[in-house]
Structure 1
Amino acid sequence: MQRGQMDQKRVADTPEIELFVKASSDAESVGNCPFCQRLFMILWLKGAIFKITTVDMKRAPHVLKTLAPGSQPPFLLYNGELKTDTNKIEEFLEEKLAPPQYTKLGCRYKESTSIGEDIFRKFSAYIKNPNPGLNDMLQKKFLSTLVKLNMYLETPLTHELDQNPHATESCRPYLDGDTLTLADCNLLPKLNIVKVVCKKYRDFDIPAELKGLTRYLDNASKKDEFRFTCPNDAEILIAYQSVAKYLNAK
């Protein structure tokens, strides 16, 4: 097959992908939704050609109500086929957008996919509590989830020990190794929310002593696929202003 024919075939094989994400409060940019950012990151990391459509759910056009009635973003159109479940969309994209044309994003280590899964739940309990008497207990439970994540990030993985059997501390930039994976696409948007909301309502910063976690967030902040898919901090705070509580004296 000649080069021109190969290029034409590649174009013909390129799927039409449109990702619908939550719009910001001014309906101009991407709003606060970790599930939307998760899929946005996945498509970007895979090197796919896709269209992003922001959906203002307060003024959703009739065509969207027809397309996905009762659904909340994110949802995906893949060659005209509608997908509405975030986890299933992730699995679908990993299967359909496969090597050699697209980047594989699956993890080598099962632990990478589950670490940090309890952070958001403990964070929510901590940040929604208005009672100062419960704050220390809830903060300790929340902090323990960050410590657990930090320990995983500081512990050398098998491939690191293969390269250096005497390694006692990992220096990998991301959860599973040297590149961002599906696990990072799931966790990083949530950690970004945690950072912004805890600072506002509890004056709480992720402790610098958690070196693995600090390194992880610093490395992620340098990646376009993460920082350019993040909502503005103001959007995150708008989303939480009705549920996050300042501590009130009892």
Structure 2
Amino acid sequence: MLAKRIIPCLDVKDGMVVKGVKFRNHEIIGDIVPLAKRYAEEGADELVFYDITASSDERVVDKSWVSRVAEVIDIPFCVAGGIKTIEDANRTLQNGADKISINSPALADPSLITKLADKFGVQCIVVGIDSYYCDETSQYQVKQFTGDEKRTVTTTWNTFDWVKEVQARGAGEIVLNVMNQDGVRQGYDLEQLSRVREICNVPLIASGGAGEMQHFKDAFKISDVDGALAASVFHKSIIDIGELKQYLKQQEVAIRL
């Protein structure tokens, strides 16, 4: 059985790590490189960096910090932010990233997923999906350009159809960012994750809602996700990664210590 992954998420804006609530009102957490180093030393399995305004600002992720991160950590890391071409992806990977993640650019041009998978292999192509549950319509909607609340748009895709589409086009992994749960620390959306798990044949990463250790256990045990991504509980030292892994092992979750 493959070990489950604990993945700190670092949202990057203006060269700093930030954190918002439900994708809004971001506060500065700290510098990128020291945080990355700290999480690697604490036992994170992987890191994810989102340059959150790259797509909405119509630019590509800033490469300068990617190479600096690669120099100080020895665990895999994934980078996202405005990657729209093979050249963008190639530069990011050459600077040391192990994976690239695309979100808004994939919605603008779904064929980008296939082009990247064909060029670099599915193992390093992650598709992020920003999913929002709309009470009025009782629908799970896919949102685009979520890094800037003034530019965020609701797409015509529902979450489950988009999950199927990105897999068909070559996504090697899916990160499901549940916007309603983001930053509120009330737990992952287990119902939505379980529904996605039923139709997702590639590794599925839960994102949005972690507040205590049990939330990670529930995501792994109930929704059978492959990895759990979290930000504020790690940034604010609410949960220690080493202690979390010991807890999960006691709960009989397959985990790397």
TM-score, length-scaled by structure 1: 0.31
Question: Greater helix percent: which structure?
Answer: 1
